[in-house]
Amino acid sequence: MAVLLRHARLAYAVAMRSALDAAGYADIPKNGLYVIGGLAHESGAHPLGSLIEELRLSKQAAGQLVDTLVTRGYLERHVDGEDRRRLTIELTQRGRAAAKVLAAAGAAVDDELLTRVGPKDVERARRALFVLVDVGREMLAGMRGNVQVPRDS
């Protein structure tokens, strides 16, 4: 299952990267797709610490990714209004435009999947993935404090 999931992600990655390149957003780094897409589902600013945890990157790697996205005009970084020691990030107008391209490319892959396997199989797959996400979250919660969680870098 893990191998299939890894390869299935490729359909989305290729479609999204191609669409971004065609729309003039070829300068978004690899993990930048996740950041921009994820922030598009949030309203307002998102804590930088949460991003670091979600991406499972080191603080340094996440900081470099955010710096790159800020420099290239996709994100704005702000000091948190409630805790001045924390930073938040949010999409700029350019970031929101790139997020729309990402969403459209993802929807095109979803449509192709629906055409090939039908709505019942897509719904079954979606339910199974939701359960798998819950399993992973439960496992991660059980590991915290006991074992170092592997980080992608």
Strand partners, 89: 46, 77
| Residue 123 confidence (pLDDT) | 97
Report the C-alpha gap between 37 and 41 in whole angstroms: 7
Question: Is residue 152 in some structural domain?
Answer: no
Pair of tokens at residue 76? 């704005």
Range of the domain at 11: 2-143
Question: Is residue 148 in some structural domain?
Answer: no
Question: Is residue 15 in some structural domain?
Answer: yes
Strands (E), 44-145: 46-47, 75-79, 87-91
pLDDT, one tens digit per residue, over 37-65 is 888 887 667 777 777 777 778 888 888 99
Residue type (1 letter), 41? H
State the total domains in the chain: 1
| Residue 44 confidence (pLDDT) | 66
pLDDT, one tens digit per residue, over 74-98 is 999 888 777 777 788 899 999 999 9
| Residue 153 confidence (pLDDT) | 45
Question: Is residue 150 in some structural domain?
Answer: no
Question: Is residue 58 in some structural domain?
Answer: yes
